[in-house]
Structures are given as structure tokens and as C-alpha cells.
Amino acid sequence: MMSLIVIAAIVISIALGYKTKINIGLFAIAFSYLIGCFVMGLSPSDVIKMWPLKMFFIIFSVCLFYSFAIVNGTLEKLAEHLLYSCRKFPHLLPYAVFLTSALIAGLGAGYYTVLAFMAPLTLMLCERTRMSLILGAMAVNYGALGGANFVSSQSGIIFRSLMTNSGIAENTAFINSFAIFLSTFVIPLLVISGFVLFTGHKKLMQSSTYTISQPSALNKQQKTTLLLTIVMMALVLVAPIAQIVLPDHPTVAFINSKMDIGLIASVFAVIALLLKLGDERKAMATVPWATLVMICGVGMLIAIAIKVGTIDLLASWIGTSIPPVMVPVAFGVVAALMSLFASTLGVVTPALFPIVPPIAAALGIDPLVIFVCIVVGAQATSISPFSSGGSLLLGSCPTEQSRSEFFPKLLLRAAPLGFAVALIFNIVLTLVY
């Protein structure tokens, strides 16, 4: 009975958030308090302790540092240069949009930030170069998703934190997160290649006469910001990779035990302030507070679900009702359906990741496969106009008429295509791995 109450609270939170446009995390916090204190008999301090403090600190610190590259225009200027480099090969523009979005997101801008300034530019390029709207939307959306999934960027950090909170070891979570990044980076490239090679898209774009003007060079402040970002990414990546390569080396083990991406990002944020790479208030304002509240709020409600045994109950049901070989694929399908209306970072992964370790242990499946299938499935349908990615793309349309024409293309063509490709990938991964 208690598990049904918690599941109902999660569903109602998502429904209310979608209907009212109020942050889902706020509804989740309210339900955590009501269920925790008045149904389960917990104290208010016990409920407050369920706020995922470590995850909050890591996301805040990393986003604060990366926000300097947004505030001083480093990422925007870098995007302009990357797109300009493709001017002589117009049929390669979809790849340029994808790789630019992925690189900017991978450098720390995060999915939503990249879409905010790359989506309007991409839709303008579609209009002027005769590039397919569907292709342009998929290139920018899945590029931003794949880049943000990099192990030192926003989504990758969230995935790692969710895994470790679910009982996965740090090094294993790093490997799993890297597998997610590779999968979500390769799949869109295959889809884009299919568009370019087999739909006559190449010939259509080569007939375009649109030219991209040369952008100005990066200034000293932007060059310093880019260098600092690369150095921080290197520091974050070298230690865990060295630990995987040299697991028994005492010095490597000691250094890796002292590395924390949140604390490292905090130090680099101070360095950025001392070097005057951006205004502190603007950098603080750029931190994705709404996403933080949504992820941590839902995290509190998931913690309630774990405490009452809901996660174990769901794991037991899935383990006995679905053939073991189809479990990862089933997770991907559920994640895709959830992502049609809800955020991958804020709802889908916080709800599904905690179920993975007990199911994987019971069925003898590598958790990596299930984690990858969940994210691949969820992000495949994130381009739906009802989800966050699709709504941002719709919001980038210059006119109401273009928005109304774009809506069915996202819903009836882009989202089903993304789902079909993700389903095929998950089936192949499950059978081969």
C-alpha cells in the first residue's frame, strides 16, 4: 500500500508539473514531506536529510565554473568558428551542427544552454541553406545531448552521481558513464549519415548559395577561459583513467581518492574570478537552478520510495515478469515513453537508475547495459514537442506559423525515428554484449 502511494506521488508530480508548468521538483519536495512525516512517521529532519546534498554540490560547482565560458561568450564564439569551418562543404553542415553542439555541451555548457543559443541558429541555417528541419533539429538536439553526457559535463556527472548513490563503485560508474556517452554520440552520427547519403539531402544543400560570414577571433579572456576549461577536464579525467589502468599503484590510488569533480570545479571557479574571466553575479545567475531543484526534489521522493521498499518491489516484479534477455530493452522502452513528457535528468534517470543494481544482480546482467539502454531510450524521444528538448526547439521558431508547421514534424517524424533507432541499438547491444 505504501509503495502505491509513493508511485502515485511520483506520477502526480510529473502530471502536475506538465500541466501547471511549475517545477516538478517542488511538487516532489511537497509530497516527500507529506508522505515522510504524516504517513511514514519520519521526523522533518529525516526528510530534509534525503535531499541529495553531494549531487547538488557537484552539479552546482561544475555549472558555476562552466558558466564563465557562457557569460564571456567563449562558447558562442567557438560555435561560430566551428560552423564557419564547414562553409565550403554545405552538405556537411548537419555534421558541423552536431559536432559543434556536442563540443560546446561537452565543454560544460550543458544540454539546455546549448539548445538555447544553438537551436535558433540551426533553424535559421535550415531556412537559408535548404537543410531539412528534421535533420537540423535532430543534429542540434542529439549533439547537445551526446556532448552533455561526457563524463566531466553536466549530464555525465548527474549519471555518475545517480549510479554511486545506487551502490555502484566510483570507477565502475565512470566506465558506465563513458559507455553512455559513446552510445549517445555514435547513434546520432549514424542517423545523420543515413539522411545525408540516402535521402538526396547532399544534392539539395550543395545547390544552396548561402554563405556564413567569418567570425572574429577569440579575445584574450576567451582564450584563457578555454584553456582553463581544458585543463580542468584533463584533471578530472586523468585520475580515474589512471586508476583503471593501474589499479594496484599506491600513488595513483591515493591521488584518485583525493579527486572530487565538485571541489576541483570550485577551485577553478575561484581561479576564473581572480583572473576576471566573468562577472560573479552573472555566473551565479547562469547556474541551472531550476534543473537542480527538479533533480534534487525528485531525488528526495525516490529516497522515500527506497525507504518504503518500492524500488525492491519494482525490481522483483521486473525480474520475474520479463525474460532476462529483454530486461535492458524493456527499460529502454519505459524510459522512452517517460521522456515523451518528462525530463531525462530530472525524472527518468532518478526514477529508474536505483532499480538497476538489484535487478542486474538478480538476473546476472551487467548493469552497464541497462544504464545505457535507459539513457539511449530516454534521450531518443527527448525531441518530442511535449518534452524539454522539443519545446525548446519549438520556442526557437521565429514565427507562430513556422512553429505550428514544426510541431507535427517533431511529434510524428523526429520522435518516432529517434525511438526506432534507439530500440534497434538497444536490442543489438543486449544481444551482443
pLDDT tens digit string along 347-398?
889 889 999 998 998 888 999 999 999 999 999 988 888 777 777 787 777 6
Q: Is residue 387 part of a domain?
A: no
Residue 292 located in a structural domain: no
For residue 311, what pLDDT band results from cuts at 50, 70 and 90?
confident
Residue 273's pLDDT band, with cuts at 50, 70 and 90, is very high
Q: What percent of the chain has pLDDT over 90?
A: 35
Q: Does residue 195 carry a pLDDT above 70?
A: yes
Residue 244 included in any domain:
yes
pLDDT class of 208 with cuts at 50, 70, 90: low
204 grid coordinates: 539539395
Residue 11 lies in a domain: no
Cell numbers 584574450: residue: 220
Confidence of residue 433 (pLDDT cuts 50, 70, 90): confident
Please count the structural domains in the chain: 1
Least confident of 192-201, 281-290, 415-424: 192-201
- For residue 288, the 8-state DSSP code is -
Asked if residue 167 belongs to a domain, the reply is yes
Distance CA 352, CA 335 (A): 8
Q: 67 is in which domain, residue-wise?
A: 52-286
Q: Which of 189-193, 277-281, 395-399 has the highest mean pLDDT?
A: 277-281
**Is residue 29 within 8 Å of residue 295, measured between CB atoms?**
no
Question: pLDDT value at position 414?
Answer: 85
- In this structure, is residue 89 part of a structural domain? yes
CB 134 within 8 A of CB 104: no
| DSSP-based three-state secondary structure for 131 | coil
Domain assignment of residue 321, yes or no: no
**Do 169 and 358 form a contact (C-beta atoms < 8 A)?**
no
The residue-averaged pLDDT of 280-286 equals 91
Whole-angstrom Cα distance, residue 96 to residue 86?
7
348, part of any domain: no
Specify the pLDDT at position 205: 62
The answer to whether 318 and 330 are in contact (CB under 8 A) is yes
Cα distance between residue 160 and residue 144, in whole Å:
18
Is the pLDDT at 34 greater than 90? The verdict is yes
Q: Is the pLDDT of residue 406 over 90?
A: no
Kindly report the average pLDDT of the chain as a whole number.
Answer: 86
Q: How far is CA 19 from the centre of its chain?
A: 23
356-366 confidence digits (pLDDT tens):
998 998 888 99
How far apart (Å, rounded) are the C-alpha atoms in residues 366 and 303?
A: 24
233 falls in which pLDDT band (50, 70, 90)? Answer: confident
